[in-house]
Structure 1
Amino acid sequence: MTFTLSTSLPFDHIDKPQEWGTMQALHEIARAVEAAGFYAGTVTDHPVPSSRWLDNGGHYAQDPFVMLSMLGATTTTLRLQTNILVLPYRNPFITARAVSSLDHFTGGRVILGLGAGYMKAEYKALGVDFDSRNDIMDEYMKAMKLAWTGEDFTFEGNGYTALGNRVLPTPAQTPHPPLLVGGNSKRALRRAVELGDAWHPFFVPKAITDTARTANLEGDEDILAAIAYMAEHCEKIGRAVPPKVIASSTYSVKAGWNAQEALDHFANLKSLGVDGSGATIYTETRAEYLEQAQKFGEDVIAKIDF
C-alpha cells in the first residue's frame, strides 16, 4: 500500500451550524473527501470538555460513533477513523460492541485510533480516575480483543467482570479493525508494540505539549528516535514486525497552500519511516471546503507515488 492520507472532518465547528452542522453538510463533505481520494475521514472524542478548556482554544466534538455511522452510510470506500477515541472513558465492552456493529455494517472500514487522553476535568466529569488512565488503557485493549473473537470469554477487570459473555457479529476485519495507538510517551510507544497495529503520533511543538500534557514530538530526530525505541522494544518482547507509523494530521490546507510543499512534506515523512499521515482543510464556508478538497485530491493525493 502506498502512503495513505486521512483528513480531519470539520463537524466539530459549532459556530456556523448551517455550514457544518446539518445532514446536508455531512453528505456533501463526506462525498467530497471520498472523491478526493482520502483514505480515511477522522473524528475526535470529547464527550464533556471543560468550559475552561473550550474558552482557551479547545473545541467541541460530536459523538464519534454517531458521526462515523452517518459517514459510513454516506460513503462506500472511505475508511472511518477515530482520531482519537479516549478509551478509558467507556466500558471496554460498550466500545467493542460499537466497533463491531460499525465495522460489520460498513464492510470493514473502521480504523480505531486510541489514546489515554489528557483532560483531567473531563475524566472527573465521567467518573474515571485520571491517574490510572494508562493502566486502564492497557486493560481495556486486552478486554476488547477478547470480545472481538466472537467466542465466549471471561475477563476480570477493575470494577467489572465477564464470566462467560459473547459479542456477535464480530468485526468484518479480522481479528479486529486496525488499532492505532496514540500518544508520544515511551509508555505509549511500548503500548503500540505490545497491543497495537500502528503508532499514531501527534506531531506538536513543545508550546502545545506543555498545555496538552503529552510528550513533545516535533522534529525529524524525535520521530526517528521514537521509531528506534519501538524497534528495540519489539526485539525485547519478540515482535517480528514493528507497528506501522500512521501520523495524525501533519499538514494544514489553508489559503495559499502549495501542492509541491505538501508533496515534499509527505515524502520526507515517508523517508523517515512514516506510513501515513493526514491533512486538515481550513475554510470559512462549506463551498470553499468542497473546492479545496477537490483541489488537494487532484494536486496532491493523485500525485503521491511513494
Structure 2
Amino acid sequence: MNFTLSTSLPFDHIDRPEEFGTLDALQEIARTVEAAGFYAGTVTDHPAPSARWLDAGGHYAQDPFVLLSMLGASTTKLRLQTNILVLPYRNPFLTARAVSSLDHFTNGRVILGLGAGYMKAEYKALGVDFDARNDLMDEYINAMKLAWTGEDFTFEGTGYTALGNRMLPTPAQTPHPPLLVGGNSKRALRRAVELGDAWHPFFVPKSVTDTARTANLEGDDDILAAIGYMADHCGKVGRAEPPKVIASSTYAVKDGWSAQEALDHYANLKSLGVHGSGATIHAETRAQYCDIALKFGEEVIAKIDF
C-alpha cells in the first residue's frame, strides 16, 4: 500500500483510566491497531500543559518515548510515531539518544514527527525561550543528525557545547528515522524542504488555528498552495525530490462513520499529492475501540488500492 494510514492512540484519555490507562489496555490496543493494518500508531507531546489550556478543551499527553517503547514491545510491525514531538522542549542530544535507542531495539520502526509547538505557557514552564523556538528547531535537527552518525562529533549550540562526543548504537534506519516536519507556516514548509524527509501538515479550520497560533490549512487549495511553495523552494535550495506529504489524522471515526466516505476522503488527499494520512477512533471503552479499529481495517485499510 503506497498510501499509508496512521492512527492517533487513545492513551491521553485520563478520564477513563480503567479503559485506556493501564498496561493491559495499551498492549491490547497496540496489537489490535497492528492487526487492523494501520501503518503507524501516534502519540502526542505535552509534558506540562497549562491548566487554562486544559480547562478550555486541551488534552493531557503521556511521555512519548515511554509510550512508544511499550508499544514497540507489544507489536512487531507497527511503526512508532510522534505526532508531534515539540523538539525545542528537550536538549537535542537527549532526544537523539531516546530516538536511536528506540529505533535500534524495535528494528527500525520509529517515525519522528517534529514541530515547534505553540504553547507559550508550556515553554515557560520548561525554561525554553518561546520566541526562539523556530531557530532552535533548525539547530536541534542539525545537532541530532550529527549525533546519529555514530562518529565523534562537535557542535556549538544554544547554551550547550559538544566537544568530541559519541552516541552508539546508531538508529537502525539509515541515516536516521524519517523526519516528518510539522507546521503550516512558510518557515515550516522551508524547514521540511531543507531538513526533513516529509512535511507533516495539521489540517484544521481557521477557528482552531486562531487559538493554536498556527497557519490556517483547511481546503484543497491550501494544500496545493503549500505543495507548490515547497516545490519552488526545492528549486531554490537544489533539492531534487520534494518532501513527501504525510498528514496527521484527517478523518474522525465516530458513530455513523462511513467506509466509503473515508475511502473517498483519502482518495482525494492522494489526488492532491498527499502520501499518507491518519484516522482518529472515538470510543468510550477499550472493547468498542478495538471493534471499530478492526472494522476500519477491514472496510477501509484493506480496500485502499492507491
Do the two structures share a fold, i.e. TM-score over 0.5? yes
- What are the superposed Cα offsets for residues 223-270 of structure 1, whole Å, 9 maximum, x if unpaired? 000000000000000000000000000000000000000000000000
Cα separation, 2, equivalents of 1:96 and 1:34: 26
Q: SS where residue 250 of structure 1 aligns?
A: strand
Structure 1 residue 264 and structure 2 residue 264: aligned?
A: yes
Q: CA deviation at 1:2?
A: 1.0
Query: Residues 175-254 of structure 1 correspond to what in structure 2 (within 5 A)?
Result: 175-254=175-254
Cα separation, 2, equivalents of 1:152 and 1:85: 26
- What are the superposed Cα offsets for residues 262-282 of structure 1, whole Å, 9 maximum, x if unpaired? 000000000000000000000
Q: CA deviation at 1:4?
A: 0.2
Query: Residues 70-85 of structure 1 correspond to what in structure 2 (within 5 A)?
Result: 70-85=70-85
Structure 1 residue 168 and structure 2 residue 152: aligned?
A: no
- What are the superposed Cα offsets for residues 90-132 of structure 1, whole Å, 9 maximum, x if unpaired? 0000000000000000000000000000000000000000000
Structure 1 residue 97 and structure 2 residue 88: aligned?
A: no
Cα separation, 1, equivalents of 2:232 and 2:298: 39
Cα separation, 1, equivalents of 2:288 and 2:17: 16
The amino acid of 2:70's aligned partner reads M
2:60 corresponds in structure 1 to: 60
Structure 1 residue 111 and structure 2 residue 111: aligned?
A: yes
Cα separation, 2, equivalents of 1:189 and 1:180: 11
Cα separation, 2, equivalents of 1:290 and 1:92: 36
Cα separation, 1, equivalents of 2:248 and 2:23: 26
1:17 corresponds in structure 2 to: 17
Q: CA deviation at 1:68?
A: 0.0
After superposition, the CA RMSD in angstroms is 0.4
Sequence identity (%): 86
List gaps (5 residues or longer) in structure 2: none
Q: CA deviation at 1:21?
A: 0.2
The amino acid of 2:176's aligned partner reads H
Q: How many pairs align? A: 306
1:275 corresponds in structure 2 to: 275
Q: CA deviation at 1:288?
A: 0.5
The amino acid of 2:65's aligned partner reads F
Structure 1 residue 49 and structure 2 residue 69: aligned?
A: no
Q: SS where residue 180 of structure 2 aligns?
A: strand
* Greater than 3 Å deviation, 4+ residue runs: none
Cα separation, 2, equivalents of 1:36 and 1:22: 21
Cα separation, 1, equivalents of 2:284 and 2:173: 37
Q: TM-score, normalised by structure 2?
A: 1.00
Cα separation, 1, equivalents of 2:266 and 2:253: 13
Q: TM-score, normalised by structure 1?
A: 1.00
- What are the superposed Cα offsets for residues 155-201 of structure 1, whole Å, 9 maximum, x if unpaired? 00011000000000000000000000000000000000000000000
Cα separation, 2, equivalents of 1:270 and 1:102: 30
Cα separation, 1, equivalents of 2:175 and 2:27: 30
- What are the superposed Cα offsets for residues 131-160 of structure 1, whole Å, 9 maximum, x if unpaired? 000000000000000000000000000110
- What are the superposed Cα offsets for residues 38-95 of structure 1, whole Å, 9 maximum, x if unpaired? 0000000000000000000000000000000000000000000000000000000000
Cα separation, 2, equivalents of 1:126 and 1:181: 22
List gaps (5 residues or longer) in structure 1: none
Cα separation, 2, equivalents of 1:17 and 1:158: 39
The amino acid of 2:6's aligned partner reads S
Q: CA deviation at 1:15?
A: 0.3
1:150 corresponds in structure 2 to: 150
